[in-house]
A and B are shown apart, each in its own frame.
Chain A
Amino acid sequence: MSTRLAQGGRLLNKGKQLHFSFNGKQFTGYEGDTLASALLANDQLMMGRSFKYHRPRGPVASGAEEPNALVNLGKGGNFEPNQRATTTELFNGLTCESQNHWPSLEFDVGAVNNYMTRFFPAGFYYKTFMFPRAAWKHVFEPIVRQSAGLGKAPKDRDADTYEHFYAYVDVVVMGGGVAGLQAAKAAGLSGAKVLLMEQTAHWGGRSMVDGGEVDGQPVADYVDALVAELEAMENVTLRNRMMGAGVYDHGYVLGYERVRDHAPLESGPRHRLWRIRAKQIVTATGAIERPLSFAGNDIPGVMLASAIRDYVVDYGVSVGDRTVVVTNNDDAYRTAIAIKQAGLEVPVILDARAGGGGALADEARALGIRVENGKGIAKVKGGKRVTGVAICAQAGEGAVLEEIKCDAVAMSGGWSPVVHLWSHCGGKLTWDEAQAHFRPDPSRAPTSHDGEAFVTVAGSANGYLDLALGVKDAHDAGKAAAKAAGFTATRKAAPKAAEAPEAAMEPVWLMPQGAGPELRIKAWLDYQNDVKVSDVRLAAQEGYESVEHTKRYTTLGMASDQGKLSNINGLATLAGQLNAPIPSVGTTTFRPPYTPISMGSIAGEARGDVFQPLRRTPIHAWHDEQKAFFEPVGHWRRPYCYPRTGESHGEAVKREILQTRNSVSMLDASTLGKIIVKGPDAGKFLDMLYTNMMSTLKPGRCRYGLMCNENGFLIDDGVVARIDEDTFLCHTTTGGAERIHGWMEDWLQCEWWDWKVFTANVTEQYAQIAIVGPNARKVLEKLGGDMDISKEGLTFMGWKDGKIGDFDARAYRISFSGELSYEIAVPASQGRAFWDAILEAGEEFGIMPYGTEALHVMRAEKGFIMIGDETDGTVIPQDLNMQWAISKKKEDFLGKRAQERPHMASPERWKLVGLETLDGSVIPDGAYAIAEGENANGQRNTQGRVTSTYYSPTLDRGIAMALVHHGTDRMGEVIELNKVDGSTVKAKIVDPIFFDKDGEKQNV
């Protein structure tokens, strides 16, 4: 049984009981418990089932490295899968469920896989599900999806909030153990601004459990004093519940702060993602104990020795009454001693080393604990929990010497420094033969822009497992980081502590070393992915020599724990099988984040109303009130049409068009780009940017222009107005405003930097409203003002400044519909009032707004092109028969040379034409004109494609524009276009100007 002890539990507040539920069962725990410790205290050792074989699993660890104890936490909007019970702080009302079982944790149908273990070796999926191909999708995948996998995906909207925070510091220290605290102090004493982050809620790390002395006092007292000292330092910030998630180029660090995980009822964000710029980083991330590979090492009750010690000391929880300790190093003796001191039994310590342990072993013996040197575990007995172990000689093949009853096994295979954060940005590792682990190689640290190291490592993360050595190393690391950040390092010496030498550990990669196949197939390397010694050996036999390939083939080191426990054991097994030294096999790549961080924290504030910026014109609120149907245009939302009650969108568009053609209507054109171009060289500059001549434009006049990129392709169009001798105002498409402004600045700053031209994007300074239709002038005249907008006073393609009514207005006499049309720009702050004034003035003419669809249809009726419809980045003006807009007088303009290339000048290019269906129907969007025969891929040949297609209310028939092979030479010819249903529609090639060819309507 696992249970709560009467004594101990240094992190608990036994005065505060908490209630929680697991798989519907009600339990209690204490404030300070983790979910794992509270479950253990309630004898709930089994916490889940394994990924592949559905084997019963309990926790192996007590911290972030835990592979097994993952739960579906919370409900509804607070549901989150794959939460580690070992790092989930208990709170009142917590609810959770174990994962990967059906129908229940205790009785699981999928566990039949367990009896099929030998049939599911590494690569089983790859080998088995290849043929027949269709079977994967319809048979295998549905079954595998049902039976494999960890947590469930959340179904509800996340009820919590998240945020980002930007911080700038000189030194970031990751890890709040004694090394991190010491490093932070050393760096802080130099005056550097220090941010120390600790992933748990507590300071001091392992030293608080493991003990020792620093500066003549117990390490726990030393830590308390150190924390108090750091808290008093103005330049040092301590944050717990905050994990160093990733280290990136140039000292960029992600800190993952779990603000409200432990207190979900409090207001505020649940997680905060710190986006930190640090000059220097110290990784004091500690070390993780490795499991030993023996048969049955995954049975609930087999745990890391340090974890069993933590549960006893930190939480007052015993995992079992009788705990067998098995080790290859001295540290695990601390567990035996802690258990014994807690009044529980340690039947035997199995030390795989023939020579046994050092001083700690003597201490254990002195407590009356039996110690067996050179021995190991042949196999663990038990199913849903440990019932005993069979002992063997480590040197042998597993012949059982003795069986011992026990209900827990504490194992230690040595310690591996947490090198993840050192490695994220390119820090290299070196193999430490004596301690059988990889540790950071200080001579190959991650380097910044200047080639200098920006990460320093401290304490046990640097391979200094001894407290005294670790504290001294951390002190030096803090000093070095401060110095590298530009400060004068403190001259204060490191605290004094006596080394406590331990007997050398001996690597044990398999227990017993000669274990045969029957044992190896039950010796787990990776608990989370169910990878065993036998799987890695098989991979090696099948030719997988690279550790990265072996990882993919066997899934060793994948999933949410990323092999924190399994990597070293796995690659040592691989190296052994390949007969290669471990360092030459190497490690897999360490990538951020260190442990999984919430998707919510990555999104930060970007959800709901602020998921993405919405751009609104000054008249947007009115459109909204009218229940306009919006369409996205970049980040703008523009009214597509304004449907009235009972009206379809198509009917609304038709009404809006007929009103425009017959009387007057209005358009919110505020989103059109407006860029001021000014300077003595402005004309010359625009002549280079546009295909036509702009420098000859007279002040007071407007000209339509085309812009191409260097490759000759059309990128934008719009009306240019010359304001004065030096100043032009260039209209761009709505989507083109920022892009074209950037394009202009690019040429001015990078290529023509000596030209005297300034630009400014004034798009949003103005509300621009088009008043369009035969009655447009009458509406404006009703408003009054000082502006002559008569036929003669403001001629077609002219503009004027003045007053319309009370409004400061600039009127452009331009038309994109073929109607009499004025586009009036007023300052944005006056936009809404001006809109209202026009509505009022136009009432007697039945004025109404029209949307972007009416705009599109009316321009198509007139054969005007639309950037993005008639162009797609591969179309040149010549394709659109717009030679008239290409100046022949100019020596150069952007795109000119490209357009002279043979392919661009080829008569074989598809040319713009109009299409009229013979039956009057509307051709589907994106239809192709089909041609005889098939291409090399067996697809029907094509001879053109539709670029715009609409129902024209004006003509009461379908009209379209298309790019067609030799199109302009084929007027009157009938071609066939495909339809969605597989049939075709016949259409006649016509002039693309369908309506008012001579432009009489706009010249009134």
Chain B
Amino acid sequence: MSNVVSALNGVSQSGIALVEETGLRGMITVRGDLASKPMAKALKDVLGASVPEQRQIASGEKGAVAWMSPDELLVICDHGAAEDIIASLNAALAGEHVLVVNVSDARAVFKVSGECAREVIAKLAPVDLAPGAFEPGMMRRTRFAQVAAAFWMNDDGSFEIICFRSVARYVFDLLCVASVDGSEVGFFN
């Protein structure tokens, strides 16, 4: 539907890293007992994913599942698939005390790629981004400068960052400032 737009309409900028808004992404907040069997079964059946460990992100055929807190997960999927997945999860978890809610449009997603991607993130988020300390499969809920954000690393070494939609411009501008030419740190090489 042409009515549907992401916060910054796919803007991008290149410096010591490439910064791109990736466009709309499906995101579902799931709160419940992460240790319960029904939760594990629901994620397996609906997404093909396991329950992620603390600070991890687990991928499945239909989406990834990120650990957010001891009783909260974030499902990441296609934007158009979110409502169906919510319905399936709710059906699979019927009778359980859970909250499954669509937060896709409350968010913006950015991708940071290139050799200096780790450094660009490390200028903004208080996270150990050294190789070995942060690798694909990990997920951090943290802050980027003055706003809440979360990120994970893809297998190709790029990072994806999610933040609230209202601060999408701020986060994009931050990433651009942090990746300005000539600002290589050289700490992770």
Contact = CB atoms under 8 A, between A and B. Distances in A.
Contacts of A237: 187
Contacts of B11: none
Contacts of A135: none
A112 B180 CA distance: 51
Contacts of A193: 130
Contacts of A832: 5
Nearest to A607: B177
B166 A164 contact: no
Interface in A593-650: 604-606, 609-610, 612-618, 635-636
A537 B101 CA distance: 74
A131 interface: no
Contacts of A610: 145, 170, 173-174, 177
Contacts of B133: 168
Interface size class of chain A, counting residues whose CB lies under 8 Å from the partner chain: 35 or more
Contacts of A499: none
Nearest to B130: A168
A918 interface: no
A188 to B, nearest CB: 15
A834 B164 CA distance: 21
A915 B185 CA distance: 63
Interface stretch (B34-42, B44-52, B119-127, B150-158): B119-127
B96 to A, nearest CB: 10
Contacts of B106: 762-765, 828
Interface in A161-187: 161, 163-168
A613 B169 CA distance: 9
B24 interface: yes
A613 B102 contact: no
A604 B145 CA distance: 9
A905 interface: no
A766 B165 CA distance: 10
B81 interface: no
B182 A268 contact: yes
Contacts of B3: 806-807, 829-830, 833-834
A442 interface: no
A185 to B, nearest CB: 19
A720 B1 CA distance: 31
A764 B169 contact: no
Contacts of B97: 679-680, 756, 758
Interface size class of chain B, counting residues whose CB lies under 8 Å from the partner chain: 35 or more
A606 B183 contact: no
Contact of A676 (B101, B127, B166): B101
Contacts, number: 146
Contacts of A266: 182
A266 B177 CA distance: 16
Given A167-B122, A606-B145, A830-B3, A616 B99 contact: no
Interface in B165-189: 165-170, 173-174, 177-178, 180-185, 187
A730 to B, nearest CB: 13
Given A237-B187, A268-B181, A765 B173 contact: no
A889 to B, nearest CB: 27
B6 interface: yes
B126 to A, nearest CB: 5
Nearest to B79: A829
Interface in B95-135: 97-99, 101-107, 119, 122-130, 133
Contacts of A636: 166
A828 B24 CA distance: 11
A267 interface: yes
B147 A166 contact: no
Given A605-B177, A610-B170, A829 B183 contact: no
A166 B167 contact: no
Nearest to B103: A765
Contacts of A679: 97, 99
A764 B164 contact: yes
A678 interface: yes
A828 B165 contact: yes
Interface in B36-95: 71, 79
Going nearest first, the 9 A-B pairs with the smallest beta carbon separation are A268-B182, A267-B182, A833-B3, A758-B99, A168-B128, A828-B105, A615-B166, A764-B106, A765-B106
27 contacts: A163-B177, A165-B122, A165-B123, A166-B126, A167-B128, A167-B187, A237-B187, A267-B181, A268-B183, A269-B182, A605-B174, A606-B145, A609-B173, A613-B145, A613-B146, A613-B167, A613-B170, A616-B169, A635-B167, A679-B99, A680-B97, A758-B98, A765-B102, A766-B105, A829-B24, A830-B1, A830-B3
Given A827-B105, A833-B3, 4 more contacts: A605-B174, A616-B169, A679-B99, A760-B31
